Amino acid sequence: MKTLRNASFIVLFIVTQLATSLAGDFPVNWHKGRLVLATGELMTDELAYNWSAEMVQIRRPDGRIRTLSAGQVRSFSWFDADQNKVREFVSLSFSSRKKRKHPAFFEIVMSGPLVVVRRLQQHKGLFKSPIGHPARYFDDTSINQDSTNFTYFVYDEGQFRNVDRFQVDIYLPYLKAYEKPLRHYAQTHNINDRTTLGRLVLISKYNALVREDQKTASVRTTYDTVE
């Protein structure tokens, strides 16, 4: 019963603080986007995502605002004019620090043979940051364009492989198959694989190499069929 009361208090606190931001104390960037509920229902309204609360808000044409958690949403996306691209978020089953699995939102950073997703670093979440107020974590350029705010994962077959454990979790099981071209690429472009950005660049290059091999294999198969 005590646990239930605590959980209810936390949810009430978050919703209250998000409502404060909508009252004008903190700016909220609304984006025209698409949201798919867990039921499969598609909604096309204005969206705002709060990284700290891990909740997405949807504003209807009549001004009504609905706040949704990862358990209620399958995915959502919008076009980000600052980055000139569509940004896509998905709800995935996640377990942090050996806790029970629960739905959590992740932004898809990279698609391909290796999919890369990210979420706000835990120490920058609710109650754990000197900034404190969750309304300050509505998505904007000051947050989403600073890679140090996030933890990045390679998501493969339901497993999360932390980019912070690059050598063991990502390089050895995946990238090592293309060790020579990746090493040459890193040396030529002066890429530091000890940084998050450098590791993401190498994963992107790996994806390009795999696609290139797949394309070549497809051409060969087609040629053999014709022959």
Predicted confidence band at 178 (pLDDT cuts at 50, 70, 90)?
A: very high
- Give me the mean pLDDT over the 177-192 stretch: 97
Residue 169's identity, in one-letter code, is D
Predicted confidence band at 10 (pLDDT cuts at 50, 70, 90)?
A: very low
Q: Which of 113-117, 132-136, 222-226 has the highest mean pLDDT?
A: 113-117
User: CB count, 10 Å around CB of 129?
Assistant: 16
Can you give the residue ranges of every domain in the chain? Answer: 2-164, 174-227
Asked if residue 90 lies in contact with residue 75, where contact means CB atoms within 8 angstroms, the answer is yes
Half-sphere exposure of 173 (CA within 13 A, CB side): 11
- Give me the mean pLDDT over the 22-35 stretch: 75
What does pLDDT average to over the chain?
A: 84
Q: Which three-class secondary structure state does DSSP give residue 178? A: helix
Q: Looking at beta carbons, which pairs linking 210-219 to residues 24 or more positions away fall under 8 Å?
A: 210/112, 210/113, 210/178, 211/112, 211/113
Run of H or E residues at 144: helix 141-144
Q: Which of 148, 196, 149, 189 is nearest to 170 (CA)?
A: 196
Q: Which three-class secondary structure state does DSSP give residue 37? A: strand
